[in-house]
């Protein structure tokens, strides 16, 4: 439920939204996503959070990051950390939860409605804190994937759950075929 006169902000956990859309078999058209929420209320800010591999010559997410930056998204990035796990596999870690939570709490006094694009249960205390400040919180994720991408406790805490698959016709586009050398969102 959205009201035309309410001030809203989008908080997009990039890797989580990418994984949810991929599990549902579509890509997000970020121009359409922004337009959809501008239509639903007064969009104050649209944040996009992602970690970037700094030492790679070409990062497959760099074109998206640049496009979002030039097209009205507030980009919040930090270098991803690479490590080798106990099995000798190369892993990448880039958690943006704290940055998202801090931005949400800072902006809360100027918002009526926060829209969180993530299914990460770690955000339940953030949702609860925003609600105590009088901010309504909608969470966008999916229960239609196997396993569901949204934590039950986050879904229960939110004022409104928006099924990502229900937005497919509004903000989705068919997945593009990966080019040689492409990988996925971290």
For residues 34 and 172, the answer to whether their CB atoms sit within 8 Å is no
The reply to whether 181 falls in a domain is: no
Q: Is 15 among the domain residues?
A: yes
Decide if 134 is inside a domain. Answer: yes
> Which domain range does residue 45 map to?
7-79+91-142+158-171
pLDDT at 186: 45
pLDDT at 57: 66
Using CA atoms, how far apart are residues 4 and 169, in angstroms rounded to an integer? 21
Return the pLDDT at 185. Answer: 52
User: Considering the entire predicted model, what is its pTM?
Assistant: 0.89
Would you state the pLDDT for residue 178?
60
Ranges of the chain whose pLDDT falls below 70: 56-58, 177-186
Q: Rounded to whole angstroms, how far apart are CA atoms 183 and 143?
A: 25
On whether residue 178 sits in a domain, the answer given is no
The pLDDT assigned to 153 comes to 98
Query: 118 with 151: CB under 8 angstroms?
Result: no
- Strand, coil or helix: what is 9? strand
Does residue 116 sit within a domain?
yes
Q: Does 57 map to a domain?
A: yes
| Helix locations, 49-173, DSSP H | 62-70, 97-107, 124-132, 152-157, 168-171
Amino acid 180: pLDDT: 54
What does the pLDDT read at residue 169?
95
| Residue 33 included in any domain | yes
For the domain that residue 41 is a member of, what is the CATH number? 3.40.50.1010
In a domain, 148, yes or no: no
pLDDT recorded at residue 90 = 78
pLDDT at 52 (0 to 100): 87
């Amino acid at each position: 439920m959205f009201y035309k006169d309410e001030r809203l902000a989008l908080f997009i956990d990039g890797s989580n939204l990418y994984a949810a859309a991929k599990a549902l078999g579509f890509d997000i058209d970020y121009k359409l996503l922004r337009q959809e929420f501008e239509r639903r209320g007064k969009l104050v800010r649209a944040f996009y959070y992602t970690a970037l591999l700094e030492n790679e010559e070409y990062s497959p997410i760099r074109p998206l990051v640049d496009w979002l930056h030039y097209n009205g998204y507030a980009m919040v990035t930090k270098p991803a950390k690479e490590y080798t796990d106990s099995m000798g596999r190369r892993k990448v870690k880039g958690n943006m939860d704290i940055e998202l939570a801090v931005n949400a709490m800072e902006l809360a006094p100027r918002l009526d409605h926060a829209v969180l694009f993530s299914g990460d249960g770690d955000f339940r205390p953030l949702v609860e804190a925003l609600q105590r400040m009088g901010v309504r919180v909608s969470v966008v994720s999916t229960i239609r994937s196997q396993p569901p991408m949204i934590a039950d406790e986050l879904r229960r805490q939110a004022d409104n759950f928006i099924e990502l698959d229900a937005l497919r016709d509004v903000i989705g586009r068919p997945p593009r075929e990966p080019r040689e050398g492409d990988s996925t969102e971290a």
